Amino acid sequence: GQQLNQSPQSMFIQEGEDVSMNCTSSSIFNTWLWYKQDPGEGPVLLIALYKAGELTSNGRLTAQFGITRKDSFLNISASIPSDVGIYFCAGAIQGAQKLVFGQGTRLTINP
Amino acid sequence: DGGITQSPKYLFRKEGQNVTLSCEQNLNHDAMYWYRQDPGQGLRLIYYSQIVNDFQKGDIAEGYSVSREKKESFPLTVTSAQKNPTAFYLCASQEGALSTDTQYFGPGTRLTVL
Residues A10 and A106: beta-carbon distance below 8 Å: yes
Q: What is the predicted pLDDT for the residue at B74?
A: 98
Q: Which residues contact A98 (CB under 8 A, 6 or more apart)?
A: B33, B45, B48, B58, B99
Average pLDDT over every residue of A45-53: 94
Confidence tier at A97 by pLDDT (50, 70, 90):
confident
Instruction: Decide if A97 and B99 are in contact by the 8 Å CB cutoff.
Output: yes
Average pLDDT over every residue of A1-24: 92
Long-range contacts of A7-10 (CB under 8 A, 24+ apart): A7/A105, A8/A105, A9/A103, A9/A104, A9/A105, A9/A106, A10/A105, A10/A106, A10/A107, A10/A108
Q: What is the predicted pLDDT for the residue at B40?
A: 76
Chunk chain B into consecutive blocks of 10 residues (it has 114) and report each block's average pLDDT, rounded to whole numbers: 87 92 95 92 92 95 97 96 93 81 91 93
DSSP A38: -
Q: Does A39 lie at the interface with B, CB-CB under 8 angstroms?
A: no
Question: What distance in Å separates the CA atoms of residue A49 and residue A72, rounded to the nearest whole number?
Answer: 9
Is the pLDDT at A93 greater than 90? The verdict is: no
The whole-angstrom distance between B74's CA and the closest CA on chain A is 16
Q: What is the predicted pLDDT for the residue at B65?
A: 97
Instruction: Decide if B33 and A98 are in contact by the 8 Å CB cutoff.
Output: yes
Residue that wins the pLDDT comparison between B41 and A15: A15
Q: What is the predicted pLDDT for the residue at B39?
A: 83
Q: What is the predicted pLDDT for the residue at B101?
A: 75
Q: What is the predicted pLDDT for the residue at A96?
A: 76
The per-residue DSSP string of A45-94 comes to: EEEEE-STT-EEEETTEEEEE-TTSSEEEEEE-S--GGG-EEEEEEEE-T
Q: Does B73 lie at the interface with A, CB-CB under 8 angstroms?
A: no
Is the pLDDT at A33 greater than 80? The verdict is: yes
Q: Which of B6, B40, B45 sits opposite A98 (nearest CB)?
A: B45
Q: What is the predicted pLDDT for the residue at A2?
A: 62
Residue that wins the pLDDT comparison between B95 and A21: A21
Q: What is the predicted pLDDT for the residue at A45?
A: 94
Question: What distance in Å separates the CA atoms of residue A43 and residue A19, rounded to the nearest whole number?
Answer: 19
Q: What is the predicted pLDDT for the residue at A94?
A: 78
Q: What is the CA radius of gyration of chain A?
A: 13
The whole-angstrom distance between A44's CA and the closest CA on chain B is 7
Q: Which residues contact A80 (CB under 8 A, 6 or more apart)?
A: A15, A109
Is the pLDDT at A73 greater than 70? The verdict is: yes
Residues A21 and A34: beta-carbon distance below 8 Å: no
Average pLDDT over every residue of A6-18: 96
